[in-house]
Amino acid sequence: MKILVINCGSSSLKYQVFDMDREEVLAKGLAERIGIKDSRLKHEVSSGQKVVIEQDLNDHIEAIQLVLKTLTDSKHGVLKDISEINAVGHRVAHGGPNFSSSVVITEDVKKEIRELFELAPLHNPANLQGIEAMEKLLPGVKQVAVFDTAFHQTMPPCAYLYGIPYEYYEKYKIRKYGFHGTSHKYVAQRAGEILGKPWEQLKIITCHLGNGASISAIKDGKSLENTMGFTPLEGVIMGTRSGNIDPSIVTFIMEKEGMSIEEINNFLNKKCGVLGVSGISSDFRDLEAACAQGNRRAQLAIEMFIYDVKLRIGAYTSILGGLDVLVFTAGLGENGIEVRRDICKDMEFFGIKIDEEKNKVRGKEAIISRDGEPVKVLVIPTNEELMIARDTKELVAR
């Protein structure tokens, strides 16, 4: 069975083609700058051969047309014909309160994704565009939606409600949803496999530390908590997002700086985080380089991030009633040797102690805790695309 996995952003489209009989990636790529000048497609086949195609892509339909053409191209293709694609899996950012698992896409599902536009204005419209473009280009092929929020639907009401009048939850669906669910679930399951124990029997904290960062508490194979909230703006300080701040700061800044709702939204999402604090970059590689040259604010930004993650690990250990496994994933979690070391520093109280030699690993699976320590600390590269392909395979086989 061949499955195409699609992850649509507002001006980009990532894809992977899986042969699900062997869970093997046949090809993957990225269409960039859709609807903007100088758009292009970067395509790579499993043998490592790469190609960049410069072509105007006015919308997602044109981008998907080019993806399908490239996938069946005699030189760079991996399929004889697009009819080999048995199903398409889509990453959808926001599933709201009604989707607790992946679903086959129907008219009703699309309607619901559309109704959730106001909760995820940057992501859900792009996701739906990708779905509708696929329907046009591959009519009759089953499509599946895999939601970033679905895994967190097991959070109890005491975790997902905010301290605001209850009718706002009923009227506007204001509650914590949590994000990066596909990634948290994948690495938690994988941790169980690596450790040779059912993941449902482990108390797990998963740290997805990328440009966007979120942390989850997982017990009995269920998400109990996630640092992200109503939107992906809540939680730990991130690359460009503020994470948690006193809500009064929002109105205070709006008044002082004369910002509109749109401007403050843009500010909190794009100009804050470690970028705002350091004044240098949202990328930890730049911050670490600046820090090594004695830049105080770069150092401060890194310290704030580490402090924030440590706080959540402590809080989540109390919610879980102990801890068996701590997982690091995503760009920084997989590659940030110093960041992992500093997060785990002075955590012996919780049974967390890493082995500095074992921690010298980037981008591959490893157990980095010292032998014999109660908490196993793991680095696991995330694989959201594989999770989407697995769910798609399972749902279309029913």
* Per-residue binder mask for ligand ADP (CB under 6 A), 356-375, x = binder: ------x-------------
- Residue 331 near ligand ADP by CB under 6 A: yes
Task: Give the residue with the Cβ less far from ligand ADP, 332 or 388.
Answer: 332
For ligand ADP, give the closer residue by CB, 253 or 280: 280
Q: Which of 4, 157, 209 is nearest to 88 (CA)?
A: 4
Q: Which of 192, 212, 235, 381 binds ligand ADP (CB under 6 A)?
A: 212
Sequence letter at residue 380: I
Active-site residue, selected from the candidate residues 19, 108, 148, 324: 148
148 assigned to active site: yes
**3 state DSSP class of 277:** helix
Instruction: Tell me whether residue 111 or residue 285 sits nearer to ligand ADP (CB atom).
Output: 285
- How would you label 196-230 residue by residue, b for 16+ Cβ within 10 Å and e otherwise? eeebeebbbbbbbbbebbbbbbbbebbbbbbbbbb
How many angstroms separate the CA atoms of 58 and 291, rounded? 42
Contact letters for ligand ADP, residues 163-202 (x by CB under 6 A)? ----------------------------------------
User: Going residue by residue from 234 to 263, which x/- string records binding to ligand ADP, judged by CB under 6 A?
Assistant: -----x------------------------
Chosen residue from 146, 191, 330, 377 binding ligand ADP by CB under 6 A:
330
How distant, in Å, are the alpha carbons of 19, 171, 300 from that of 333?
Answer: 28, 37, 19
Which CA distances in Å does 254 have to 118, 172, 257, 266? 21, 23, 5, 12
Residue 147's Cβ-count burial label (10 Å; 0-12, 13-18, 19+) is buried
Within 10 angstroms of residue 370's Cβ, the number of other Cβ atoms is 15
Minimum CB distance to ligand ADP, residue 46 (Å): 21
Token pair listed for 163: 């301290």
Closest separation in Å from C-beta 366 to ligand ADP: 15
- As measured in angstroms, the least distance from the Cβ of 331 to ligand ADP is 2
β-pair partners for 207: 215, 328
Q: Figure out which of the listed residues 283, 342, 355, 365 binds ligand ADP, where binding follows CB under 6 A.
A: 283
The catalytic residue positions are 148
Binding site residues, ligand ADP, CB under 6 A: 210-212, 239, 282-285, 330-332, 335-336, 362
